[in-house]
Structure 1
């Protein structure tokens, strides 16, 4: 039985994968799936895809399109979450900054270059008319390290998913200046060209299983309470997050790929836009 190694962040978006694994749904369908956690986020998963350390990744849409356009030998297989990601813009609780506009010349903590936090810092800056060439960054790898970096004044602000960081805000460690939603879909499932070539049948099975689970995910009895308990969130926060989150079983569109590439080109984060057919592939 071929093994499929899947990378993802340890966040509430990925509970459908864990439920499928805990219920042995992949194994019963004839595929051995190994889940690999990446608390460092998209940049680390892109690196792992390039190194063939994982076969698939549940990964931020903008981040993986950027890396594929810059030479990552991988393809998007389908959307996973089609709603935007809500990025909270955080500063230390006792920071003198009170508005996002005051951060124009401040240093941003990012998980790593090429990560979602790196890309979104550029997108936010461009939208506000800042000079993106003047942005400064402190690489922190993980959320835990971001807390340390901001507390010790190694960086001034940190952009991360609103609800993942909410407990840190509630604890009085971070203060949120505002939110910044991605101007595109949240997560896709991507795979290496090598895995797509050699494990196509198994990958199709994996997609069929996760799509069945994600399609009915919100209908699971007391799923809000399960999420709140497992991810140490307030129930009302999880309910708000669930109401604004849409899991998808569809392919990403050429139009969305081209729109994201256009934005990344404008931000000088990719050198050349490539044909959308080089970024996604249909296995269904």
Structure 2
């Protein structure tokens, strides 16, 4: 039995993994795949890939590209979700900030440096024409930390996935000022180089299984009701999320896509310069 550890955020995007693990589909192929929730998001997962505490991670595209460029010994093996991620821009319920222009000099809550909440704050600032070098950040680790920081005034606004934070908008914890979609496919699957070298066939089988699941995911009977209950979401919100979300089963990631994303990241001052796009990816489908 081959032991592999996979990690991701505990959000609706990753429910297909839950189904395949619950059905013990990996065990049938002599693979003991264990899941770990990462509440701290992509920055926490990049660290886990570096220290070997996770082998496979479902991470935000911008976060892992930045971290591989900075020496993370991993490769992107495929896009997982090919549609953009919609980041809600949130303030505390009692905040005096009313519109996005008010936030130019405000303090931003981020889970950690290099995370999606950090990098997308830079993208949003660039979109607004603000001076990115003057942005102020407060590290809050995770969504609970963001709630606390905005409630007690340690930070002014917080960017997190629109639908995950919707219940906190509904209950009056947050007020959403605007949305900022990623200018690229949102989630990719990254694997440590050591695992790719030693367990290529097992990783390929894991991808085959999860891709088969995401291919038919929207057709599962009452999947909207299941997701709404599990993630404490309004049914209409889950239906809207399902409508705008597309997975990417079994398609290799291309150097052209990585180049286009790097071009945008350089433009947004997220990375300083481009690197060879082939260094970021491993094609599992040759």
TM-score scaled to structure 2, two decimals? Answer: 0.97
Of the structure 1 ranges 27-36 and 179-188, higher mean CA displacement relative to structure 2 is found in: 27-36
Distance 2:43 2:253 in 1: 20
Gaps of 5+ in 1: none
Deviation at 1:252, TM superposition (A): 2.3
**CA displacement 1:224-248 (0-9 Å, x = unmatched):** 0000011110100000000000010
Q: Show the counterpart of 1:217.
A: 217
**CA displacement 1:186-210 (0-9 Å, x = unmatched):** 1000001111111111101100000
Q: Show the counterpart of 2:90.
A: 90
Deviation at 1:265, TM superposition (A): 2.1
Distance 2:176 2:136 in 1: 20
Instruction: Say if 2:63 and 2:119, in contact at 8 Å, map to a contact too.
Output: yes
Instruction: Say if 1:70 and 1:270, in contact at 8 Å, map to a contact too.
Output: no
Distance 2:25 2:62 in 1: 30
Aligned residues: 284
**CA displacement 1:27-74 (0-9 Å, x = unmatched):** 112211010110000000001111111111000011101111111111
Instruction: Say if 2:252 and 2:284, in contact at 8 Å, map to a contact too.
Output: no
Q: Does the alignment pair 1:13 with 2:20?
A: no
Q: Show the counterpart of 2:33.
A: 33
Instruction: Say if 2:124 and 2:180, in contact at 8 Å, map to a contact too.
Output: yes
Instruction: Say if 2:196 and 2:203, in contact at 8 Å, map to a contact too.
Output: yes
Q: Show the counterpart of 2:280.
A: 279
Residues 146-165 of structure 1: pairs in structure 2 closer than 5 A: 146-165=146-165
Task: Classify the secondary structure of the residue corresponding to 2:213.
Answer: helix
Gaps of 5+ in 2: none
For the aligned residue pairs, the C-alpha RMSD in angstroms reads 0.9
Q: Show the counterpart of 1:113.
A: 113
Of the structure 1 ranges 244-253 and 257-266, higher mean CA displacement relative to structure 2 is found in: 257-266
Q: Show the counterpart of 1:261.
A: 262
Deviation at 1:270, TM superposition (A): 2.4
Distance 1:177 1:271 in 2: 30
Distance 1:144 1:80 in 2: 26
Task: Classify the secondary structure of the residue corresponding to 1:112.
Answer: coil
Task: Classify the secondary structure of the residue corresponding to 2:26.
Answer: helix
Distance 1:169 1:100 in 2: 16
Residues 130-209 of structure 1: pairs in structure 2 closer than 5 A: 130-209=130-209
Deviation at 1:267, TM superposition (A): 3.4
Distance 1:211 1:24 in 2: 15
Instruction: Say if 1:70 and 1:271, in contact at 8 Å, map to a contact too.
Output: no
Distance 1:30 1:239 in 2: 36
Distance 2:261 2:283 in 1: 19
Q: Does the alignment pair 1:77 with 2:77?
A: yes
Distance 2:269 2:81 in 1: 26
**CA displacement 1:257-284 (0-9 Å, x = unmatched):** 1122122223333233111110011122
Instruction: Say if 1:69 and 1:272, in contact at 8 Å, map to a contact too.
Output: no
